[in-house]
Amino acid sequence: MAFDYDLFVIGGGSGGVRAARVAAQGGARVALAEEDRYGGTCVIRGCVPKKLMVYASEFVDTVEDARAFGWDIAPGAFDWAGFRTRLHAELDRLEGVYRKLLSGNGVETFDMRAKLADAHTVELADGTRKSARHILLAAGGWPVKPGIKGEDLAITSNEVFHLDHLPESMLIVGGGYIACEFACILNGLGVKVTQYYRGAQILRGFDDEARGLVAEEMQQRGVELHLGTNVLEMSRDDASGGVLVKSTNGDERVFDKVMFATGRAPNTAGLGLEDIGVELGRNGEVMVDTYSQSTVPSIHAIGDVTDRVNLTPVAIRDGMAFVETIFGGNPTPVDHALIPTAIFTQPEIGTVGLSEEAASAQEPIEVYCTSFKPMQQAFAGRGDRALMKLIVSRENRKVLGCHIVAPGAGEMIQMAGIAVKMGATKEDFDRTVAVHPTMSEEIVTMKVPVRTG
C-alpha cells in the first residue's frame, strides 16, 4: 500500500516538532498537525513564559541586595502591562522559530485539529484524510480542575500569562511544582498569595527535607500556606467582584483571583484512539512500551500524552528515541532513569536520583547533608538558607541522589546530574577539588554522614 507520508505527527510541541524535523532530515516524508500554537505547553504556556516571570519576580530581592552592597538603588513599581507585551512578543518569536524549523526541513504542516480514522489514517478538521505508514501522538497535556461548584470562576496556569492586570490577592490551589512556582512568582511580583494544599506537605514525591525547607522559605517570604486544606465551593462575591471561597478549614474568604494547579491530563479525548484499539490508561494516557509503541503497532506516542515523565526534555528525548528506532534502524528504548530536574520556586530546588525516603526503603544508605546561609544573602542581611544533600549507597558507595535547595539550584543540578548518571561514588565527589567560594563547593566537601538509614 502506498502512503501519503512515512510519518504523520499529531501535536506541534517540543517532542512532536523534534521527531518530525529529525525524521524529515533523514529523508522521510513527514506531516504534522497542530490545532493551537506551535511550541506546545513549554514554549507557549509553560516553561518559557514561566521562567521569564520567575526572572521578573526576583528583581525585588536583587534591588534589596544591591542596596546592602552599597548601591544607591530604590525599588520601583512593576509594570505588568509592559512586561506582558514583551512576553507575548517573545512567545510569538519562538513560535515562528518552531514553524521555520519544520518548513525548513520539508515537513508539511496543517494548522487544524486531527484525529485517527484507522491505524494508518489521520482525519483533519476539514474532513481531509491523510495516510501514513507511522503515526506519532505528541498532543501533550492540559490542566484539569477538580470538579467543584463554581470552578468556572477560577483560572489555570494557561490563563495566568494573559491577565489584564495583576490582582491584589490570589488563592492558588495545589501543592505540586506548578502551584508552588506560581505562588513564588506572584508573591515576588507583589500579589498577596494564599496557597491551599490538601496534603501534609507541598511537593509530594520530592525529598522530605528539601521540600520542608522550601515550604518554610516560601512562608518567610510572604506566601500564606495552608496545608491539609482544600476548596469546597466557590461563588462570585457581588460586593467586591472577587471570588468567595469556602474551604475545608472552615474559612470563607474573598480573593480577587483563584488559580487551580491541581493536575494535568493527557490530550487524548476526541482523537478516536479507543475506537481503533489504542489502549488508554486511567488518566487517559496512551499506554506504550519502552519503545513508545502503543497497542496498535503503527501508532506511537511520546511526551505528556503518555503521562510517563511530564518534562519537556523528556518528550524531546522520547521523540529522538522513536526516530532512531523507526527510521534509523537502531531500536532505542526510552531512558527515564536518573533525570535531573529543577523546580523554580524561591529558593529553587534541583534534584536528581532518589530521595532519602525512597533510597532508604530500597537499601542501606548514608546521608550527607549541610544547610547554611549563602554568602550573598547573608551579607545582605537576609535569612535565606540553602541545602546540599547527597544520598549514598552503603554497599557500592554510588551517589543515589543529589538534592539542592539554593539560588541557581537548577544550574547546579545539571552538572551534578552528569556525575550521578555516570554512576559516580561518594569518593569520586570527595576527590573533586572545590571551587571556592561558591555554594556548590559544599557538594564535594561533606566528609561525614549526618545519619544512616
Residues known to be catalytic: 436
Gap between the Cα atoms of 13 and 16, Å rounded? 5
CA distances from 184 to 156, 181, 223, 453 (A): 16, 5, 7, 33
User: Residue 260's Cα: distance from chain center in Å?
Assistant: 16
H/E/C letters for each residue in 64-89? HHHHHCCCCCCCCCCCHHHHHHHHHH
Gap between the Cα atoms of 145 and 264, Å rounded? 9
* Cβ proximity of 262 and 255 under 8 Å: no
| Largest interatomic CA distance in the chain | 74
CA distances from 231 to 170, 281, 327, 352 (A): 14, 27, 49, 33
What letter does residue 155 receive in the DSSP assignment? B
Cell numbers describing residue 133: 505508514
Gap between the Cα atoms of 244 and 120, Å rounded? 50
Phi, psi (deg, nearest 5) at residue 85: -60, -45
Gap between the Cα atoms of 171 and 174, Å rounded? 10
The contacts of residue 291 (CB under 8 Å, 6+ apart) are 300, 321, 322, 325, 331, 332, 333, 334
Gap between the Cα atoms of 261 and 45, Å rounded? 13
* Cβ proximity of 189 and 272 under 8 Å: no
